[in-house]
Structure 1
Amino acid sequence: MASLRVVRRMFCAAAETAAAPVTTSRWERLKNSKAVLWGRGLVSDYKEACREIVVGSWERPVKASVYASLLGGAWAGFYTKPDHASFEAALLECSNMLGLLSPWIRNGTSNGHVQSLVKLHNEGRLQHTSLGVLSLVYHSDYDSDTTLYEAQCSNLSTPWRELPQRILDVGFAGRWWVLDSKMKDYDVNEDEFKHLPPHMQVTLPPTVQEVDRSERLHKESWLALEGGEEEKETHLVDRKEESGGEEGQIQALEEKPTPA
């Protein structure tokens, strides 16, 4: 009987020990949570990736420099791309520059391009989109605020394949390249020279000798004029005649008799 009691007590103690909850601290539970384990794995992966980048850059410097240049260029293009407000400001500035000129000396290409953009802007058809490193300005068929069915129906919208034909300008590195190219020589009307011979329509930059000659003539134009030898002789004769006339008057006064 005593042995049975001892065996019964042993089984009871083992059962109580197994049923007793395991007490762990809050910090240990936090360290063993799924979020912490996922974060540890993510940090480990990034650490290994950075180590491979450093080792690969050391082993292949040319390839690493090319990748760094591409990433730097993409970052610079992203932060320097112009927006829609800058395009409107550039268009207004170009329109004012052309407005200060007479219609007879405006460049036909510049004036036509700017006038078409201004017309689309007034109609609300100028649209802007960003592609990350560059911006595009294109024209649509209707204003975005138009409530017509043709303008609001997605099935009747302009397909993407026609977008290249609608592009009006490309913004990159803080500039609108098409607008700048159209405004080149905006104050030169080429139609004025189309009736001239071909050899007179071509203009070439002046040479160094021509520039020196122009500067020398400009400096000489500010100098005082000097008379020739004939003018000097004329001045001498005039002075002699004046001196001779004065001597004759003096002798006439001396010979004049005094009254009694």
Structure 2
Amino acid sequence: MASLRVARRMFCAAAETTADTVRNSRWGKLKDSKAGVWCHSLLSDYKEACREIFVGARERPVKASVYLTLLSGAGACFYTKPDQSSFEAALLERTNQLGLLSAWIRSATSDSHMQKLTKLQNEGRLRHISLGLLSLVYYTNYHPDTTLYEARCSNLSVLWRELPQRVLDVGFAGRWWILNSKMQDYDVNEEEFKHLPPHMRATSPPSVQEVERNERLHKESWLALTVKEEERETVGREEGLAKPLREERTQA
């Protein structure tokens, strides 16, 4: 029984030695091959580049901080870049805001821009493109499912140099900038004030003193009126003088 155990141990040790030899030989062949040499040199280059980055950051901390800030800003812009679904949601929200206002109140600029975007969306002509740090929304001439020859021919398609004229909105840092600018003062109709002089068209926000004064006057308007004694005597004398005149007119 003991001899069987010894033989088993010797067999296992011989098998492990053989496996290690085969493994070492395979690894040596792979390491000495062209692919192994290329991978080893590539890893060495990356290792040296990383070491130079850390050494350069330690020697020039200001420059490294500027680069790190730029990379962080680019990453934040890429992460917060709006997509097509966000544009559709923003368009729907702005359209509902305008729909709550009367045609006599809403801004003509905001209304015309929303009408144009809604018309292009219903026709299926709005397109979205991602440029890494920002997004663009532009329009095309046809719906993507249109089977007309003009829509399918590549020689008649929209050229890239015409893209700046077709851009409708720019998405950057989580916002659609043109859409927000067009909706600025959407509840003010400029046509109502076009006949006023220039100095009356421009309005400025009230100062802190004006706001406090308006609030004080508003609170005072709810108080009961108080009549002083002098005012009472004045009112009494006026009534006394007016009473004989009324009697004379009545007798006449």
Q: Take 1:202 and 1:79, find their aligned partners in 2: how far apart are those partners? A: 39
2:169 is paired with a residue of what secondary structure? strand
Partner residue in 1 for 2:22: 25
Residue identity opposite 2:154 in structure 1:
S
Higher alpha-carbon Rg: 1
List gaps (5 residues or longer) in structure 1.
1-22, 234-260
Q: Take 2:92 and 2:205, find their aligned partners in 1: how far apart are those partners? A: 31
2:106 is paired with a residue of what secondary structure? coil
Matched, 1:105 2:102: no
- 1:97-140 CA-partner distances (Å, limit 9, x unpaired): 00000100111111111110000001111010000110000010
Residue identity opposite 2:184 in structure 1:
K
> Quick check: 1:139–1:166 contact (8 Å CA) kept in 2?
yes
Q: Take 1:228 and 1:145, find their aligned partners in 2: how far apart are those partners? A: 83
List gaps (5 residues or longer) in structure 2.
1-19, 234-252
Partner residue in 1 for 2:3: none
Partner residue in 2 for 1:39: 39
Query: Offset at 1:221?
Result: 2.6
TM-score of the aligned structures, taking structure 2 as reference length: 0.78
1:171 is paired with a residue of what secondary structure? strand
Partner residue in 1 for 2:246: none
Partner residue in 2 for 1:169: 169
> Quick check: 1:30–1:36 contact (8 Å CA) kept in 2?
no
Q: Take 1:63 and 1:31, find their aligned partners in 2: how far apart are those partners? A: 43
- Give the 5 Å matches for 1:1-260: 24-33=21-30, 34=33, 35-229=35-229
Q: Take 1:66 and 1:231, find their aligned partners in 2: how far apart are those partners? A: 75
Residue identity opposite 2:81 in structure 1:
K
Query: Offset at 1:31?
Result: 3.9
1:25 is paired with a residue of what secondary structure? helix
Residue identity opposite 1:30 in structure 2:
W
TM-score of the aligned structures, taking structure 1 as reference length: 0.76
Percent identity, aligned pairs only? Answer: 70
Query: Offset at 1:57?
Result: 1.2
Q: Take 2:148 and 2:136, find their aligned partners in 1: how far apart are those partners? A: 25
Partner residue in 2 for 1:239: none
1:62 is paired with a residue of what secondary structure? helix
Distance change (3 Å), C-alpha of 1:174 and 1:31: farther
Partner residue in 2 for 1:246: none
Q: Take 2:199 and 2:173, find their aligned partners in 1: how far apart are those partners? A: 38
Q: Take 1:175 and 1:61, find their aligned partners in 2: how far apart are those partners? A: 33
- Larger displacement relative to structure 2 (49-58 or 210-219): 210-219
Q: Take 2:174 and 2:161, find their aligned partners in 1: how far apart are those partners? A: 27
Q: Take 2:152 and 2:42, find their aligned partners in 1: how far apart are those partners? A: 46
Query: Offset at 1:196?
Result: 1.5
Q: CA RMSD in A?
A: 2.1
1:224 is paired with a residue of what secondary structure? coil
Distance change (3 Å), C-alpha of 1:198 and 1:31: same
- 1:51-105 CA-partner distances (Å, limit 9, x unpaired): 1001111222222122112211111111110111110110011100000001001
Q: Take 1:225 and 1:146, find their aligned partners in 2: how far apart are those partners? A: 75
